Amino acid sequence: MTESRQEDAPRTGNAPGEPTTVLAGGQVLTPAGWVETDVTLSGGRIASVSSAGSRAVGSVIVEVGGLHVVPGLVDIQINGGFGHDFTQNPETIWDVGKRLPEHGVTAFLPTVITSPEEMITNAMGVMNEGPPGGYKGAIPIGLHLEGPLLSQIRSGTHDTRYLRSPTAVTTDAWSPEEGVRMVTLAPELPGALELIEALAEQGVVVSLGHSNATYDDALAGFQSGATVGTHLYNAMSALHHRDPGLVGALLAEREIVAEIIADGIHTHPAAVRIAWEAKKPDHLVLVTDAMAAMGMGRGRFVISSVDVLVDGTGPRNADGVLAGSALTMDQAIRNLIAFTDCSLGEAIATATANPARTIGDPGRGVLEEGARADITVLGPDLDVELTLVGGTITHRRPS
């Protein structure tokens, strides 16, 4: 990959002084499929996906021949990473955001798990304050509140002391305007269906999870406005052929999106393949559910109020229960391809267009004229070579 400034080609219409970057000659994943072409970025947006007249005078030309140019990855469930935990220290959203481009991520939903109510308020405060000056990194586009409205018996590693009934929590301020984009809850709890309706009305995406719902409970949740299931298979009522549970409901209902942690630990490769066959191509979403251990290797970490040990079997609490993952989005894509034999383009969509559509953000996750200039460039082995957020280079693989 080389970079130069175009000195001698004729100007082709970019406004004087407007910084323009051209990703030249890559294999570009457009909504119509792969095309070998140039992508011109200007003013934080994709100005064109075409080689015609792309090399204007003054443009910064980044040669990406032989590389895959894809939309920036979007992770809608991430609890922290690089030693930081968003529930305990929401101000570290920006520290983690600066490093997520190393894994191709350009937008994310910082996830706050079950904890005292002031933790949610603190995180909303951080979101509303916005980034520190000069921030360059992945964009947190709203919180994902995973708890406290969860089932006692499907709480996973969540601290059951802080679980709440939907009727006991004030949720009027949970809205995208106040920094809350998504809420995971258990639909079988008293008052849950009314709350799903209210949250959907407030513009919040409601996902069913950490739930012991029957199939009928799940359908009632969908009818009330829930559109997603949180980490399919994990912490939910399992599929029995006479009692399909939440797993069965998520697999059977075609219009409902299923998130999945495709690390081979939370989900067996065969279970991932079943999920792909049921939900492909538009209704499966890769998430990392990563916690502080992501990017750190083995050791001791914390998620919310819970101590976690990370060894070769993933992050686990003192009882051996999985407590988030150490997965990265680029690895999740490699795993999905290995587990399902889906195509690279299909796998990328589960980490870009599908999550963006799930959270109602159509300006992200696509590589077309007018979309945000959030772009990831992958090598042949799917290593992240280059990441741009809003047209600004935020990561470049060391050569």
Quickly tell me which residue has 């520190």 as its tokens. 132
C-alpha distances (whole Å) from 290 to each of 231, 252, 260, 396 are 12, 27, 12, 22
Using DSSP's 3-state secondary structure scheme, residue 47 falls into strand
C-alpha distances (whole Å) from 273 to each of 38, 198, 215, 253 are 34, 35, 22, 17
Quickly tell me which residue has 């990959």 as its tokens. 1
Neighbours of 175 (CB within 10 A): 17
The token duo for 184 is 């995971």
Spatial distance between the Cα atoms of 288 and 111, rounded to a whole number of angstroms: 11
CB 2 within 8 A of CB 63: yes
Region for 167 from its dihedrals, namely left if φ exceeds 0, alpha if ψ lies in -120 to 50, beta otherwise = alpha
Instruction: Point out the residues that are catalytic.
Output: 289
Using DSSP's 3-state secondary structure scheme, residue 200 falls into helix
Backbone angles phi, psi at 219, to 5 degrees: -60, -40
Quickly tell me which residue has 């082709």 as its tokens. 12
Q: Which helix H or strand E contains 93, and what residues bound it? A: helix 93-99
CB 89 within 8 A of CB 51: no
